[in-house]
Structure 1
Amino acid sequence: MLLRQLKRLAPFDMHLHYTDRHRLPSEIEEKLGLTFHASAADMVPHCDVVTINAPLHPETEGLFDDELIATMKRGAYLINTARARIADRDAVVRALQSGRLAGYAGDVWFPQPAPSDHPWRTMPHHGMTPHISGSSLSAQARYAAGTREILESFFAGTPIRDEYLIVDGGKLAGTGAHSYAVRG
């Protein structure tokens, strides 16, 4: 997912920074002009716009809190189309009210549906939309094709592609091993 977004942004002649549990190969970094950072805390001070593209788990829940947001460039934009609880709801509101953030955009809310008094409905400088992931016909066709491929592989006894795997044999595998950490 992250690589797909970076590839889409590369033609716009931006200085692209990223952080991920697994660093991309140097050939891809060079081709796309990417700068890798070991953590979100290392990355955000360098960015005018930060997009959140991460799963929600204990390491990411509340990641964009007052402390991390305070290290962002004053006037930066934060975009969250991942999971609402990765950004601390009230920290985002405070950052917009103080001018620390110039804007916040996203399509993920917590709780969802958001109550009528949710502070993101009235905070300044925001662009919030309903979360509509997967509702397009082309997305539904891709999900259906992927599900079919998984079932065909399972019943044929052939390996399931890594991008479809989260757990295999009780252990993180494929995309799951890439996205999540084993907690001891």
Structure 2
Amino acid sequence: MNLAIIILAAGASQRFGESNKLLALVAGRPMIEHVIVATKDVPAAYRFAVTGEADAKLLDLLTRYDVTAIPNPNVRQGQGSSIAAGAQAALHSGAEAALIVLGDMPFVTGKYLRMICETLQDNEAVVSEFAGRHMPPMLFGKAALHRLANLSPEGSGKDVLRSPYKALPLPTDMARDIDTRETLAKYKSSLGDSS
């Protein structure tokens, strides 16, 4: 499978404050670096990160890991615009499938991402499921990838799901995303992390 990985890294971090939350330290590394490292466990032909108003530190980090930044000038219109930008880049590169991960979910492991990829087979998509809802990471085959490329700005990956698709349980410890400084402090405290 000619796979593209799309990391969504364009959020405005409004609830986090003025700094880019993706660069906040978790266990001594920027949050998004944990995500990038986990994706390196997945064989992929293409690696993209959809960025908003990315700062130099984020772009340097992406370059260091050979991840291509895809600027999204429409980020304020909604997450769907970032998903569409990533899907368009994946299709333009010749990808047959795309694994979409969030830059603010640093606890998702490479092993879990590989399990998603191994599950695609005859399914059109594989989604993570936690507490009864579908969420990233999500893997989309080519037909779904074309629909993602035309996603409305306020849309999400769930909007393009068609049968057959498979839902994989996302373990509780991986389902955590970090949207606020309080959430970050809570997770750091639970991990004994002083970074």
The TM-score bracket by the shorter chain reads: 0.3 to 0.5
Larger RCO: Structure 1 or Structure 2 (Cα < 8 Å, ≥ 6 residues apart)?
A: 2
Give the strand-richer structure, 1 or 2. 2
Whose radius of gyration is greater, 1 or 2?
A: 1
TM-score, normalised to structure 1's length? 0.35
